[in-house]
Amino acid sequence: MDRDPAPLRQALCWTHSRRKFFVLADITAKAKRGSKAAPISPMALEAVKRIDALFDIEPEINGLATDQRLERRR
């Protein structure tokens, strides 16, 4: 049976995105590297906090309708 698939929709992974920000905001690693380490990025730290907040609510919204999940994430 041939089927005509719907257009693909890209779904991005927050975990993979978070890793890039975490490297820029890793305070512990910076302390270990000493004074020659690159400065911590305040924007990256904020991004990590916001992504973590999304991760925190995921168990609560699991099973809700798509529009309800979107509203809770906002």
What pLDDT, in 10s, does the model give residues 4-20? Answer: 777 777 777 889 899 98
Over residues 15-39, mean pLDDT: 81
Query: d(Cα 26, Cα 7) in Å, to the nearest integer?
Result: 38
| pTM, rounded to two decimals | 0.67
Name the band, by pLDDT with cuts 50, 70 and 90, for residue 39: confident
pLDDT over 90 (residue 47): yes
Cα torsion 32, 33, 36, 38: sign? negative
pLDDT of residue 1: 58
Residue 49: per-residue pLDDT: 94
